[in-house]
Amino acid sequence: MRTIQIVFPVLNEERRLKKGIMKTVEYMEQNFAGRYRLMIVDNGSEDGTAEIAGELTQIYDRVSYLRLAEKGVGLALRAGVRENTCDVVGYMDIDLSTSLDHLKEVDRAFHDPAVQIVNGSRLSRDSVVTGRKPLRNLTSHGFRLMMKLLFGMKIDDALCGFKFFRRETIESLMPHCSDTPGWFYCAELLLRAERAGIVIREIPVTWQDDYDTTVHVGRLVRTYLAQMARLYAEFHFYRR
């Protein structure tokens, strides 16, 4: 049976960590018993996250904890992949914005040997999204448009926090990606996979947006634009 590791990047998540892990363990024991691992990757939390994570690893033998000194989902994902021993590895948000039931869809998708990556989409016609603030929604649609205009990207929601990869696929992609620490790294993985002809299946998700997010939209937009410019220069100038 196919094994799966879920990476949970966290930063100052003492209020949500225990509930998120306990709920995920319960779900995985019911649906993926004996073939899953959960990894908490801490991006330098300054609250009680580390202590709670340590307690969880003592309670659950399929939960592990790794602490990093720097912030960034990209850093957390790379660290999780380096420690991964499962057939499939991916990441989710600890607030479980994406319904856990989609994990069964991920598993079914990988029954097709051609599928190498499964990506959740909040922008699909069949997605159910609640609580999404208008500015965040506008940012997501704007990002999608820019990626399509600049790179011809087919994936609709490259920034959705629900992505899973066959182990050998992500290991082959990582050396070709930048070392950018944040969310854009995850989009870059998908873009490079598309350009390499790797089969990606995008699935609509049920998504509950978190009102308590600490994301600074303006700073994110500036970062995304800078990273797009870097990739555009690489694809259109540096390789000539």
Spans of all domains in the chain: 4-238
pLDDT given at position 215? 62
pLDDT given at position 144? 95
d(CA 154, CA 37): 31
pLDDT given at position 136? 82
This prediction's pTM: 0.94
Nearest to 76 by CA among 8, 141, 166, 136: 8
d(CA 92, CA 95): 9
Is 3.40.50.300 the CATH classification of the domain at 4-238? no
Strand, coil or helix: 8: strand
Pairing of strands 4-10, 88-92: parallel
pLDDT of 216 above 80: no
pLDDT of 212 above 90: no
d(CA 217, CA 123): 18
Q: pLDDT per residue over 13-25, tens digit each?
A: 999 999 999 999 9
Q: How far apart are the first and last CA of the chain?
A: 45
Q: What is the DSSP string of 27-58?
A: HHHHHSTTSEEEEEEES---SSHHHHHHHHHH
pLDDT of 135 above 90: no
Query: For residue 226, what are its two tokens?
Result: 């800078």
